[in-house]
Amino acid sequence: MQPGFPNTDTPFATTGRSRRGEPWVWLTAAGLTLGVAMALGLFLLILVKGAWSFWPRRIDLMEISTNGVIEKIAGYVTQESQRRDDEGVFHEEIQIFRGNKDLSGEAFKFIDRADVVKTSRPESLLLIERLEYGPAIVHGVALVTPGGRIDVSSPDFEKTLSQTLKDGAETRAQLLRIERKQIGAISREMEALGRAERSGTVDAQTAATRNAQLQKEFEARQAEAAKLRAGLAESSFIGITADGREVTFPAEKLLGVFAANRAGFGERLAEMGHRIWKFLSEDPREANTEGGVFPAIFGTVVMTLVMSLFVTPFGVICAIYLREYAKQGHLVRVVRISVNNLAGVPSIVFGVFGLAFFVYFVGGGVDRMFFADKLPTPTYGTPGILWASLTLAILTLPVVIVATEEALSAVPRGVREAALACGASKWQTIQRIVLPASLPGILTGVILAMARGAGEVAPLMLVGVVKLAPSLPIDDIAPFIHPERKFMHLGFHIYDLGFQSPDAEAAKTIVYATALLLIIVVVTLNLAAILIRNRLKKRFAVSSF
Amino acid sequence: MPAALPESRPDLIRVENFSFHYGEKQAIFDIDMAIPEHRVTALIGPSGCGKSTLLRNMNRMNDLIDGVRHEGDIRLNGISLYDPSVEVISLRKRVGMVFQKYNPFAKSIYENVVFSLRVAGRSNRSELDESVERALKSAALWDEVKDRLHDSAFGLSGGQQQRLCIARAIANQPEILLMDEPCAALDPLATLKIEELITKLKSQYTIVIVTHNMEQATRCSDRTAFLYMGRLIEYGDTVQIFNRPSHPETEAYITGRFS
């Protein structure tokens, strides 16, 4: 028997600091809590600010006295702040959105709260949405229609107003169809005809005849558009501003009239839903500060999907060679380290690479080979959604390669040996056994790549994103998919609105809304991928050995 | 223990002066043995004695490991496995293998069994159906799974999964079945089933089995080879090896004095 054996000196119950778990538990838990709190805080801020920007607020009519002169202003408070002037006097300032940018030059105004003499909320105040100059705030007066003038007090007013708005929307849709599609098609054909004539595939005689035909059709369309415009020109809405100026809103440019002070909770909620829908479904207007962000949503989603379409097979193929075929030596180790380092390269560098390689080199080559007749106007030799997707595919390639390599190496050796022992070749083993088993892991990599790619902005500014794209990359004009087109992106949209907008104040709310939307789009894309992965996981469930 | 001494059978596999190295380390020293057809030959010996290495050379599974080399030869029906004209894929089609840890694929029971046929390029539906039934019946699993052929193989118990692996190994009708401790991960009941199966299968296949279990070797093998430190110490009829071992090491091992 050794001395002191068995060890009866160690007490069963430990005492002191280590008694109730290690102190590190608290530190790690606190770290996680802090992280979760910050993430939640960020999300809540964006959620609240983003949602708030759609809520229709009541309009105050304020009487402001400056040096004894009383001025009336209608609008709603957007911001409150305090400051001390040079003499140390405390001032409470409010920022008011009063619209009517066409009349007053500035849609926002700062007022000292002490100067506000009287505040009221007359029901006659209306929020007018229009195509130009942002919203207007006026007292409703009358509606002018081809059938005569209808006063606000008339019982027919509501009905006629909604009819006028509906007619206006329909006519605008028709005008869009004529001007963008039909006239667009005619001018495209004229352009093609000109090129064909220059290159000699069409003789001058035929070209001239067809050109004359097209010219005639063009004029007919323009006349049709002019007639539609004239039909609307007879209607307009008349209002009077808080300071007593009469304003006429032509029906062609009138988008909506909302009685902000008369509407009940339900109506305001409906108006909010309507605004959210318009935000999601419409094109932007007025330097992106008004209207919707549909092209940006579409661009983001299409770009991300095309990117994953490129990066997934490419990354998987690279990883298969690296892990399964390459002899694991120094060279492979160097390659693997390089791939990992690629993930740490600043994204703008990829943008520069994409511009130089994809846009100028590949795109320029494609133009010289297939679109020589259009030169010097570039077709593919200019930034576009295809090049942006490819650039981001390279940017996210390391993510997919690393995830796939890990998934491949996690496939148990026993299963591979079993397949080989059944007479399968190495490729058959990879294709039928290893790849299906590692699919969930590969998809995790794709999900991470999508999350990274969808939120990337800097490289896109060089290779295809624009402030305002006239048309979507996929539309109903043959050949339907236009990979050479420039596109809009939610991330860039946020940057553009926040820092490049001519009216930063007007853009502020929309920045939050767009940020919220970007998060929602990225989360939706990820959720879709996660759902697909979980379904695959069930199908290729790996046992627990 | 088999009731009667087995009548002699022609040799199917001949291991000729075979040595094997993993890099610097030599695992097998100059082994010379002949394995008769339609017999169960057991390889026994303590861990690290080279029995699995020898077995895994019979379908050239060790080719997968970097830095291995061999001397001597293994012949199947007189043809060297290392002959340049022998394709390792067609060799493995003739030599099936069952592993220590049951390793079914993440596929249905049906797809597991037909895997070797599919990789051989056969996709005729009725032929596949027929093979599944035959292989599963041979592996004594048909009655248990015939109603759920298209369920995941992972839904089976451990013993069933190992029998599925046997069915998978014999689906493409190999000549030889290599078994690397097929019962090591199974409970006694499942082990008994596999042993019955082995006895049944030897009428159709030549079986080489690596085992750590002395009772198993006596219960189901006809010939036994005792390996120690990479050398073949004794090789003969199972009855003789276990009753009258001629080497003291063999006796020490089978009586459990060292392992």
In this predicted structure, what is the pLDDT of residue A480? 78
Q: A415 to chain B, minimum CA–CA distance in Å?
A: 6
- Answer whether A417 sits within 8 Å of B89, measured CB to CB: no
Q: What is the per-residue pLDDT for A544?
A: 36
The pLDDT value given to residue A542: 47
Any domain includes B129? no
Inter-chain CB proximity A420 and B61 less than 8 Å: yes
CA dist B116 and B96 (Å) reads 10
| pLDDT tier for residue A383 given thresholds of 50, 70 and 90 | confident
Please name the residues in contact with A138: beta carbons below 8 A apart, sequence gap of 6 or more: A74, A100, A125, A126, A128, A239, A240, A241, A242, A247
A251 vs A228: CA distance, rounded Å: 12
Per-residue pLDDT reduced to its tens digit, B27-60? 989 999 999 988 899 999 888 888 889 999 998 8
**pLDDT at residue A311 greater than cutoff 90:** yes
Whether the CB of B172 is below 8 Å from some CB of chain A: the reply is yes
Residue predicted with more confidence, B190 or A349? A349
Look at A423 and B92 and tell me if their CB atoms are within 8 Å. Answer: yes
**Of residues A286 and A281, which shows the higher confidence score?**
A281
Q: Which pLDDT tens digit goes with each residue over B217-242?
A: 898 899 999 998 889 999 989 988 88
Say if B137 is an interface residue toward chain A (CB within 8 Å).
no
Task: Nearest chain B residue to A433 by CA: give it.
Answer: B105
pLDDT computed for residue B225 by the predictor: 92
The shortest CB-CB distance from A542 to any of B93, B106, B116 is to B106
Burial class (CB in 10 A: 0-12, 13-18, 19+), A254: buried
Mean pLDDT for the stretch of residues A35-47: 93
Is 80 exceeded by the pLDDT of residue A537? no
Q: What is the mean pLDDT of residues B77-105?
A: 88
Please name the member of B64, B106, B168 whose beta carbon is closest to the beta carbon of A541. B106
Between CA A321 and CA A197 the distance in angstroms is: 51
Any domain includes B79: yes
- Which SS3 state, helix, strand or coil, does residue B89 take? helix
Residue B24 lies in a domain: yes
Mean pLDDT to the nearest integer, B16-23: 90
Mean pLDDT (chain B, rounded): 87
Q: Is the pLDDT of residue A97 over 60?
A: yes
Q: Is the model's pLDDT at A289 over the cut of 80? A: no
Q: What is the mean pLDDT of residues A121-143?
A: 86
Q: Which residue of B has its CA nearest to A415?
A: B103
What share of chain A in percent tops pLDDT 70?
94
Residue B87 falls inside a structural domain: yes
> Structure pTM?
0.80
Place of tokens 């019962």: B183
What are the tens digits of pLDDT across the range A255-272?
888 888 888 899 999 999
d(CA A78, CA A58): 12
Contacts of B93 in chain A (CB under 8 A): 423
Highest mean pLDDT among A10-24, A199-213, A268-282, A494-508: A268-282
Rounded distance between C-alpha atoms, residue A444 and residue A122, angstroms = 57
Q: What percent of chain B has pLDDT over 90?
A: 15
The answer as to whether B143 is a domain residue is no
The pLDDT assigned to B209 comes to 93
Q: Which residues of A fall within a CB distance of 8 Å from B66?
A: 327
Instruction: Tell me whether residues A424 and B106 touch, CB distance under 8 A.
Output: no
pLDDT value, residue A543: 40
Q: Is A423 in contact with B152 (Cβ distance < 8 A)? A: no
Residue B2, pLDDT above cutoff 80: no
Is B90 part of the contact surface with chain A (CB cutoff 8 Å)? Answer: yes
A543 and B101 in contact by Cβ < 8 A?
no
CATH number of the domain enclosing B67: 3.40.50.300
Calculate how close chain A gets to B126, using CA atoms only, in Å. 20
Interchain contact B59–A (C-beta under 8 A): yes
| Range of the structural domain that residue B95 is part of | 11-104+176-254
The mean pLDDT of A61-80, rounded to a whole number, is 86
Residue B232 lies in a domain: yes
Residues above pLDDT 90, as percent of chain A: 18
Tell me the average pLDDT across A524-532: 85
Looking at the 3D structure of chain B, how many domains does it have?
1
Residue A335 predicted with pLDDT over 50: yes
Query: Which H or E element spans position B208?
Result: strand B206-210
Q: Is the confidence at residue A540, as pLDDT, over 80?
A: no
B155 close to A541: Cβ distance less than 8 angstroms: no
Whether B31 is covered by a domain: the verdict is yes
Please report the pLDDT score of residue A14 as a whole number.
Answer: 59
| Helix, strand, or coil (residue B152) | strand
- Which of residues 414 through 433 in chain A touch B, CB cutoff 8 A? 414-415, 417-425, 428, 432-433
pLDDT at residue A539, rounded to an integer:
65
pLDDT at A425 over 60: yes
Give the span between the Cα atoms of B36 and B206, in whole angstroms. 7
Distance from CA of B93 to the nearest CA of A (A): 5
Indicate the residue of A421, A423, A540 with minimum beta-carbon distance to B106: A540
Confidence at B183, pLDDT banded by 50, 70, 90? confident
Q: Which of A490, A471, A474 is nearest to A482 (CA)?
A: A474
Nearest CA in chain B to A426: B89
Question: Per-residue pLDDT for A458 more than 60?
Answer: yes
CB contacts, 8 Å: A432 with chain B = 115, 118-119
Q: What is the pLDDT of residue A116?
A: 85
Residues of chain B with pLDDT > 70: what percent? 96
Residue B89 lies in a domain: yes
DSSP letter for A17, please.
G
**Partner-chain contact B103 A420, CB within 8 Å:** no
